[in-house]
Structure 1
Amino acid sequence: MSRRKWGMLRKQILIYTIVVIAVICSLFPFYWMVKSSLTPNESMYSVKPKLLPEKVTFVHYKDLFTKTTFMQYLKNSVYVAGLTTIISLFVSIIGSYSMTRLRYRGRLFFVRTIILSYLLPAAVLFIPMYVSISRLGLADNKNALLLVYPTLVVPYCCYMLISYFKAIPAALEESAMIDGCNKLQTLYKIIVPIAAPGIAVVATFAFTMAWNEYLYALVMTTSPSQQTATIGIASFKMSDSYVWGLLMSSSVIASLPAVFLYLLAQRYVISGLADGGVK
């Protein structure tokens, strides 16, 4: 084997080794979560836990669905995350299109500063947000999250979509307008279908951000009937003790919607992120 081929082989071995290690490090926490959710209590607190479960049980899942109100938490999360994604997409598509195609005073200011609102820490804003929500009479109401979450999600969505809209040739819109379309018709009949991969990426991340959010859900809601799944998972920590069986089983259930969403949108996410990087 020549020195050049040997060098290429060593390089490939090194790359695959790094990839395998990265995959193992990424998947091991999820594996341990699933494994712990299927481990009986008598083995859960072992001093030397085993990598593979010696005995499998579904009692934690049974207790989760029959002895707790976790299903209500899940319903609230689906409601809040789903509507947040729809609202954020609608506002982001309109806003991104206006900032890339329309000409008005202050447009460049909005384009250059929109990312700053996304970079602001949530801990800085939750107090004024809570005061505003309380004055609207929406304290301890999951609908308050539908007003709060878009303020976090929309800046990110706009920042992502602007690059896609800029890359679409203006000649396509001009042709549509010659055929009788107005601005809104051009947007939803021409721009949106072309930018579908980017919109799929934005929708996926918007849903994930709303689904995983904890701080605002904790501050804005206090009763179990209004709280989301992230708060429900945290409720299984009682004082200094952890109910690990319920914690792990609820974490597995709560992670499934986001996992399924990424699997369904994987093709669009990969192509959308690649196109966005090129554009």
Structure 2
Amino acid sequence: MYLKKKKKIRMFITYILLIIALIWTIFPLYWMIKSSFTVDNEMYVARPTLFGFTPTVSHYIELFKEAKFQVNLLNSLIISGITTLIGLGISILGSYSMTRLKYPGRKLFSASVIISYLLPTAVLFIPMYIFVSGLGLGGTKWALLVIYPTFVVPYCCYMLRSYFNSIPYALEEAALIDGATRMQTLRYIVLPIALPGIAVVATFAFTMSWNEYLYAMIMTTSMKQMTATVAISSWKYGDIINWGRILSGCVVASVPVTIIYILAQSLLVSGNTDGSVK
């Protein structure tokens, strides 16, 4: 009886802590969405109400008609999408070579990938700016396509290398014995099995590129070249903050990443190789 009572108390405390953690996580999202639909005279008060508010879509109309936020969204989609494809293409080949091939300097190459992944990106923005300016890309969004792979590729390689190591090599050996080439084993055996890991890496690579702020702020100078994150931060003029436009922009900017996560859910399944090797 005592043990059952003790177990119930532990479960009660656990549920209470989980509820608190859930509220702690959800409340900022709720407040962002609520405020984006709240009229200005209710938003800029000393004690705003928690639930009651007068709904309006004027902030979203202003966001797209006056601020032309769709241009910045398109810039972010182009840069993040291309960067993710470049990062995956390079990292898949690099991770496969580090885990399956034997060649001089493989350990040095693996160590350099880890060092590049751990190196703070902020310390490189001055040489990066000089480099992209020399290429004639200074002040444009295309400079980000040169910069973003420098930290996305090491991350993807670091993650995919661990995932490739978990795939039994016996599957590839059987294909190689049957006459398949390395590229064929990679395409028809390794990639289908590693699809959940690739989906995870692609999702985080896209998110890293989408949320990046420092390089995007330094490299883009005009509003038409800015990404969504930089455009949102530009709506603060000294001590005047247009919270309606900022919060509505944050809501809209969070939609593409949310869609990416939802689409990737179907691929986030582990254990595809269970029973393949006895």
Q: Secondary structure of 1:265's match?
A: helix
Equivalent residue, structure 2, for 1:136: 135
Q: Distance in 1 between matches of 2:106 and 2:52?
A: 58
Q: Distance in 2 between matches of 1:41 and 1:10?
A: 46
Contact 1:96 1:162 in 2 (8 A): yes
Equivalent residue, structure 2, for 1:53: 52
Contact 1:217 1:228 in 2 (8 A): yes
> Which TM-score applies when normalising by structure 1?
0.94
Q: How does 1:149-228 map to 2 (within 5 A)?
A: 149-228=148-227
Equivalent residue, structure 1, for 2:69: 70
Residues 1:257 and 2:270 aligned together = no
Q: Distance in 2 between matches of 1:79 and 1:227?
A: 12
Q: Which amino acid is 2:200 matched to?
A: V
Question: Offset at 1:264?
Answer: 2.2
Question: Offset at 1:271?
Answer: 4.4
Residues 1:97 and 2:93 aligned together = no
Q: Distance in 2 between matches of 1:101 and 1:93?
A: 12
Q: Distance in 2 between matches of 1:269 and 1:125?
A: 34
Question: Offset at 1:81?
Answer: 0.4
Q: Which amino acid is 1:192 matched to?
A: L
Equivalent residue, structure 1, for 2:230: 231
Question: Offset at 1:270?
Answer: 7.0
> Which TM-score applies when normalising by structure 2?
0.94
Q: Distance in 2 between matches of 1:80 and 1:69?
A: 18
Q: Where does structure 1 lack aligned partners over 5 or more consecutive residues?
A: none
Larger deviation, residues 40-49 vs 255-264? 255-264
Equivalent residue, structure 1, for 2:83: 84
Q: Distance in 1 between matches of 2:247 and 2:113?
A: 38
Question: Offset at 1:10?
Answer: 1.5
Q: Which amino acid is 1:32 matched to?
A: W
Q: Secondary structure of 2:25's match?
A: helix
Contact 1:39 1:53 in 2 (8 A): no
Q: Distance in 2 between matches of 1:112 and 1:167?
A: 19
Question: Offset at 1:176?
Answer: 1.3
Q: Which amino acid is 2:12 matched to?
A: I
Deviations 1:140-199 (A, max 9, x none): 221211111111111111111111111111111111122222111111111010011100
Q: Distance in 2 between matches of 1:38 and 1:123?
A: 35
Q: Secondary structure of 1:163's match?
A: helix
Q: Distance in 2 between matches of 1:76 and 1:3?
A: 62
Deviations 1:76-127 (A, max 9, x none): 0000001111110011100000000011112112223422212222210111
Q: Which amino acid is 1:45 matched to?
A: Y
Q: Cα–Cα, structure 1 residues 271 and 7, in superposed 2: closer, same or farther, change >3 Å?
A: farther
Q: Secondary structure of 2:51's match?
A: coil
Residues 1:112 and 2:111 aligned together = yes
Q: Cα–Cα, structure 1 residues 236 and 53, in superposed 2: closer, same or farther, change >3 Å?
A: farther
Q: Cα–Cα, structure 1 residues 199 and 75, in superposed 2: closer, same or farther, change >3 Å?
A: same
Higher-helix-fraction structure = 1
Larger deviation, residues 60-69 vs 8-17? 8-17
Question: Offset at 1:267?
Answer: 4.8
Contact 1:38 1:56 in 2 (8 A): yes
CA RMSD of aligned residues (A): 1.5
Aligned pair count reads 272
Q: Distance in 2 between matches of 1:270 and 1:37?
A: 36
Q: Distance in 2 between matches of 1:120 and 1:53?
A: 47
Q: Distance in 2 between matches of 1:30 and 1:269?
A: 24
Contact 1:35 1:53 in 2 (8 A): no
Q: Distance in 2 between matches of 1:212 and 1:20?
A: 28
Q: Where does structure 2 lack aligned partners over 5 or more consecutive residues?
A: none
Q: Percent identity?
A: 54
Q: How does 1:13-32 map to 2 (within 5 A)?
A: 13-32=12-31
Q: Distance in 2 between matches of 1:246 and 1:25?
A: 24
Larger deviation, residues 156-165 vs 110-119? 110-119
Q: Cα–Cα, structure 1 residues 229 and 17, in superposed 2: closer, same or farther, change >3 Å?
A: same
